[in-house]
Each structure stands twice: as C-alpha cells, then as structure tokens.
Amino acid sequence: MKITKLMNPLKGEIELPSDKSISHRAVMFGSIAKGKTIIHRLLLSADVKTTLSAFQKMGVKMKFVGDDLEIEGSNFHLTQPRTSLDFGNSGTTARLLMGILASQNFETHLVGDESLLKRPMNRVAIPLSLMGADVRAQGSQATLPVTIKGGHLNPINYEIPVASAQVKTSLIFAALRAQGKSHFIEQLQTRDHTERMLPLFGGKIEVKDLEIKVSGPQNLFGTTLTVPGDFSSASFWIVATLIVPGSELLLKKVGVNPTRTGLLDIVKTMGAKIELLNFDHSHETADIHVTYTGDLRGIEISGELIPRCIDELPILSLLATQATGETVIKNAKELRFKESDRISSVTSLLKSMGADITPYEDGMIIVGKTDLSSSEVEANKDHRLMMTAVIAGLIAENGNNLPDNIEEIISTSYPTFFEDLRKICQ
Ligand code: S3P
C-alpha cells in the first residue's frame, strides 16, 4: 500500500473506536462474574476477539444482541479448553488470562504468534508460581508456549518489579481467588482500569497511592457497562494534526483517565494547542480539539510520565522529529518488550525516513526538526509501529510504501483506522 504526502490539511471529526485495555477487562470480568454482563461499545479488534474466543473455548456463553455483547458469566467455573489457547498477537490476553487460569483446577496450554512468542511472561509466571500455580514455560524469560495448571492459591505480599498494568491486573485476578489478603506495591502508577472496574462487578479492593490490597476468595456479579473511546488510538490523530500544516480535528468521546493521558501533558509542554471539551464525568470521556500551530519544541519524557504514555511513545517519537531541538526519552526500557522492540523498530523506521534519532538502552534521543523522506517500510507485527509509519507517510516527500498486510496488522487495535483517515483527508 502507498501513502502519499498530504497536500491539504486534515479536517473534521472522528468518533474513536473503543478502548482496547478496557474491552479486554470487561470481557474477562464478565466471564468470571456470576450472572449476566452487558457490554456497550465493545472494541471488536483482533486482540479483543482473541480474548472472546479464549473464554468461549472455556465454556463461557456469549452473544451479540444488536451492538451489545451479552455474557453469561461462569462464576469462576471455567472448563478446560479442548485445544491450546492461541493468543495471537495479544500480550494483554496472555498475561491477564494467566492470572485467571492460576485459580482454575485444570491444565491449559498457551501459544501465540511469532511476536508474542518472544515476549517475557516471567513477570507474571514468577508471582503466580509463588501464589501456588504450576507454570511451565520456555527459558529464563518464561516465554510462550506456556502450560499452566491452577488450583489452590495463597495470598502474597509482592513488590511488582516492572511498571506494568498487565502484571498488576493478572495478580489482582489471582488474588480474588486466593485464601487471604494479598498486598501489591507498584513502582510507578500504571493504568488503573482494573481497580476501577472491579467494584462495578461487586468486588472489593483497597488502593492507596501505589499500594493495592485484595482479599480472597471473592465472587463477582455481572453488570452493564460502556467502553469509552481509546486514548491510545486518538493519539495518532492528535500527532497527525500537529504535523500536517493547517490541520484541525475534533476527536469525540475519548477516554481521558489520567493514568493514560501522559501524551496530553507532553504535547502541551511541547507547545501544542489542544483542549478538552464536553467532559462527561460518568464515563470519564471528553472530546479532544487539536489545532496545528507548527511551533513545537523538544522536551524530556521520563520518570512517572513513561507508564502514562508507554503506548504513545512510537507516535511521540515521530512528533519529536517535527519539533525544534532535542527530545530525550528515557526510563523507557519497557518499550523493548512490546509487540516489537520499539526502541529498535521506531529508530529504524524514523532513521530510514531521514530522522536524527539515536537509540539507547532505555530510550531514544531525537533531534528536530527534520524533513522526512519516503521509505520502504518493513513488515512488522506491531500495530502501533505500522500506524506511526502511515502518519509519517502523510508528511514525507513522496509518501511511504507500506507492507501489503498493513490493514490486518493495524486491526489488532484499530480496525477502522484507514476509514477514519479517509474521512479527515480532503
Ligand atoms: C496494557 C498495559 C500496557 C500497555 C498494553 C496494554 C493493559 O502494557 O502497553 O498495550 O491493558 O494492561 P504493560 O502492562 O506491559 O506496560
């Protein structure tokens, strides 16, 4: 596929697809709760379909009624799947489900695609084993294929060594079925969708700053919930507006949970014109209005900001190529463990387009402003890298040549990405 340089600004509005992290959690909570859960506006991306299919293979009944998904919860009584569970590209499905399988009294074999097979699972395998699950995996990183056999779980006191909402959530799921009170400490605040959703299902959790306590065993009860628009998906359009001269976009009903919106703080500090309108407190959404000004400066992105923008760092790196001066991204080693090693893959993408970018062990330094040139973008199973390549193509002399299966890769999180792009191109 060829993306050509835009001659006109981006204009109009987009209603964002629903949040991927929240959609996974809604399906998981609905599947382990007792009774019916109704989910409005579930994201039907490839990753979320992976989660749906895993629970169906474990006996959970679900059906669409109009646009709503209705789940008949299993009350934590899943059944052993007849075949391996294939998690495709979805690290969230793999890590979160391991926390649920840790309490299920049967053995399950877990596999994934070539990208997922490289991603470390020891971050969940170690604490889940300490709680009593039997987890067998590959090598020191405990990569997939994994075999997990659950059963009786003990509570634990555990300082989570990486800033990861996936690990935190996996452990909360396990703690809900342990005999006693578990106590977790995060290093830095990560997205808190699980802590917020658990009480909607009747669950109890104590959260104070970076400490979390969960008593088990607990039962959960089905509920009705609506998934907000995905801030991470909105970020591609925010950056596109900030780099395509004359652009102005309204992004509607975007989830603005502060544990996710580090990019807003970052682009404001860089000098962007961006405002939140129509804040809806009950759903924690707002419309984001963003306008091109062309006058951005490089900044440092580090410390507690990193977990608040971890998925946005590829597209922020592109933005940094269009800001004057140096942008320093550090304390972001976690980027190496995503759908690709995003320090390497972002560096080679932007370098191939002429950017001044230097990779480090835990980040990158990008010096702007650089006129980007066209590139033959290499195929990569990383949806966020591929969306970054598309947006970069919009400002590159002669555009970008993209891999043929790019729509399929992007459908991991944003199945209507190209439709939305066409809508705002004039
Ligand atoms: C996610 C947490 C983050 C994020 C991922 C989704 C989640 O991963 O990068 O896209 O839904 O909990 P980590 O927990 O590995 O940081």
69-83 pLDDT per residue, tens: 999 999 999 999 999
> For the segment 244-287, what is each residue's pLDDT rounded down to a tens digit?
999 999 999 999 999 999 999 999 999 999 999 999 998 899 99
Question: Domain range holding 124?
Answer: 20-226
- Residue 194 CB–ligand 1 contact under 6 Å: no
Beta bridge partners of 138: 143
Considering the domain architecture, whether residues 214 and 258 belong to the same structural domain is answered as no
Which residue do the tokens 């053995």 mark?
Answer: 107
CATH of residue 164: 3.65.10.10
Considering the domain architecture, whether residues 208 and 290 belong to the same structural domain is answered as no
DSSP reduced 3-state for 336: helix
pLDDT over threshold 90, residue 411: yes
In whole angstroms, what is the distance from residue 261 CA to residue 308 CA?
6
Q: What is the mean pLDDT of residues 212-219?
A: 98
Q: Which atom of ligand 1 is nearest to the CA of 337?
A: 15
User: Does 119 appear as a known binding residue?
Assistant: yes
Considering the domain architecture, whether residues 173 and 289 belong to the same structural domain is answered as no
In whole angstroms, what is the distance from residue 423 CA to residue 10 CA?
9
Considering the domain architecture, whether residues 6 and 41 belong to the same structural domain is answered as no
Q: In this predicted structure, what is the pLDDT of residue 426?
A: 80
Q: Which residue is catalytic, options 311, 356, 362, 371?
A: 311
Distance 95 CA to ligand 1 centre (A): 10
Which residues 6+ apart lie within 8 Å of 402 measured at CB? Answer: 1, 2, 3, 377, 386, 389, 390, 393
Query: Count of domains in the chain?
Result: 2
In whole angstroms, what is the distance from residue 251 CA to residue 12 CA?
9
Answer yes or no: are the C-beta atoms of 110 and 87 closer than 8 Å: yes
Answer yes or no: are the C-beta atoms of 293 and 271 closer than 8 Å: yes
List the one residue out of 224, 223, 222, 219 whose CA is nearest residue 204.
219
Considering the domain architecture, whether residues 414 and 301 belong to the same structural domain is answered as yes
Indicate left, alpha or beta for 325 from its phi (over 0: left) and psi (-120 to 50: alpha).
left
Is 311 considered catalytic here? yes
Last residue of a domain, one of 171, 198, 226: 226
Average pLDDT value over all residues in the chain: 98
Considering the domain architecture, whether residues 410 and 350 belong to the same structural domain is answered as yes
Classify each residue of 110-147 as buried b or exposed e, where b means 16 or more C-beta atoms within 10 Å of its C-beta: bbbbebbebbbbebbbebbbebbbebebeeeebbbebe
pLDDT over threshold 90, residue 185: yes
Considering the domain architecture, whether residues 135 and 242 belong to the same structural domain is answered as no
Answer yes or no: are the C-beta atoms of 312 and 232 closer than 8 Å: yes
> For the segment 368-387, what is each residue's pLDDT rounded down to a tens digit?
999 999 999 998 999 999 99
Considering the domain architecture, whether residues 175 and 131 belong to the same structural domain is answered as yes
- Residue 197 CB–ligand 1 contact under 6 Å: no
Q: Which of 28, 95, 166, 305 to mutate to test the pocket of ligand 1 (most atoms within 8 A of CB)?
A: 166
User: Does 136 appear as a known binding residue?
Assistant: no
> For the segment 140-149, what is each residue's pLDDT rounded down to a tens digit?
999 999 999 9
Last residue of a domain, one of 167, 199, 226: 226
Considering the domain architecture, whether residues 150 and 287 belong to the same structural domain is answered as no
Can you state the percent helix, strand and coil of the chain, rounding each to 5?
35, 30, 35
Beta bridge partners of 15: 252
Considering the domain architecture, whether residues 187 and 266 belong to the same structural domain is answered as no
- Residue 285 CB–ligand 1 contact under 6 Å: no
Instruction: Express as a percent the part of the chain with pLDDT over 90.
Output: 99
In whole angstroms, what is the distance from residue 106 CA to residue 94 CA?
17
> For the segment 30-73, what is each residue's pLDDT rounded down to a tens digit?
999 999 999 999 999 999 999 999 999 999 999 999 999 999 99
Q: For 371, list phi and psi in degrees, rounded to 5.
A: -75, 125
Distance 397 CA to ligand 1 centre (A): 34
Considering the domain architecture, whether residues 243 and 189 belong to the same structural domain is answered as no
Considering the domain architecture, whether residues 252 and 342 belong to the same structural domain is answered as yes
Distance 327 CA to ligand 1 centre (A): 24
